[in-house]
Amino acid sequence: MPTGNRPEDGKVTEAEALLQHILALPQGSGRSLVAIGGAPASGKSTLAAAMTGALRQAGRKARLIPMDGFHLDNAVLEARGLLSRKGAPETFDADGFIVLMNRVKAGEEVVYPTFDRVRDLSIAGAAVIDANCDLIVVEGNYLLFDEPPWRSLADLWDFSIWCDTSEPVLLERCVQRWLDHNHTPDEARVRAERNDMANARRVIDMRLRADVCFTS
């Protein structure tokens, strides 16, 4: 992770600089929220997990909250005709997520849902943020999304990061995800192009300004 990848010439890597930005956030004045946003397959979850681990190694009581726990259930999506668009902004419980983030920001103990990718469903009450945890890393596609109601989240972030990844790389990663779920190459490409890349272009086109743009 960041602190272990210093080049031989002593220059600070992009990830190390990012870590130092977060460590410099004020302490003792409430809970800090760090948002890591980006398109599907942009590397958000990898960066968020690595950064959270590095923050803990640095002595901070950091926790990670992925936005994916607020996916609407497949039965709800099917009833609304949205199952084929799973992952689009309207396929999440946006209002519920915003309520959670406001509670997290307030500094209280918070119970929140997680997402089981193997079973493709959200699990309610699966994780807890303790009241003494003062630094939260949040990751998700729509944390820096300039459409209602998502744009109201921007006021909650003490520091925001956008994962910048080229479209060819996004497509390659999205196709690989479907291949990993035992789809044929043709099926994987169709799913990636029709849904994942549509969501990617939408969030890229409507993204809000971040404090830092991280090249993934």
- Within the chain, where are the H helices? 14-23, 44-57, 74-79, 94-106, 167-180, 185-191, 197-205
- In the chain, the domains with their CATH numbers are 28-215 (3.40.50.300)
Q: Per-residue confidence of the chain (216 residues) as pLDDT tens digits?
A: 444 444 445 456 888 999 999 999 988 888 999 999 999 999 999 999 999 999 999 999 999 999 999 999 999 999 999 999 999 999 999 999 999 999 999 999 999 999 998 888 999 999 999 999 999 999 999 999 999 999 999 999 999 999 999 999 999 999 999 999 899 999 999 999 999 999 999 999 999 999 999 987
Whole-model pTM: value is 0.91
SS3 18: helix
Structure-token pair, residue 12: 């600070």
